Structure 1
Amino acid sequence: MNTKLVESLAQVVQSLTPEERELFNQKVMSLDEIEERPFYETATTEEWIKAFREWAESHRSKNSPMLSDEAISRESMYGDRG
């Protein structure tokens, strides 16, 4: 823990006017709200891409058999309905 930083911050907070202290408290509370928000509300585009790729890779299995063209053809999926 950075005790010097905490001590300096405490001194600054003590020197604030009541209005400044209220604004400071509002800012601190808004930081807490940001931390509590879910990933999908706060993630950047790059974070979404990274998370999606990690998710996709986690489902890849080296031992999974490949499906044949017949297995994924429209006729085999829908039969007489398609």
Structure 2
Amino acid sequence: RFYQVPSFGQSTICSFSHNILEMKKLAARDFEDILQCCIPCVEGLLPLADLLYLSMYWHALTKLHMHTDSSLAEFRLVTTSQM
């Protein structure tokens, strides 16, 4: 299903190969593209969608340049949340 996701912009989201599991030597931007495009690709698989949401939320928290006590508390909450 990832192969059916169209590319977006010149350098925003590149097109995926036929089999995403066989992609080798992934860069950080590749992981980010996979996270951004994976929810439509796994539509209907609710438990997996919840896990993907938490992964994207965790990824967004890690991209903050400066952490405060409240952001660190939120980071701990997301990291230890039970599904």
TM-score range, shorter chain: under 0.3
* Structure whose alpha-carbon radius of gyration is higher: 1
- Normalised by the length of structure 1, the TM-score is 0.25
Q: Which has the higher helix share?
A: 1
Higher relative contact order (CA 8 A, sep 6+): 2
- Normalised by the length of structure 2, the TM-score is 0.25
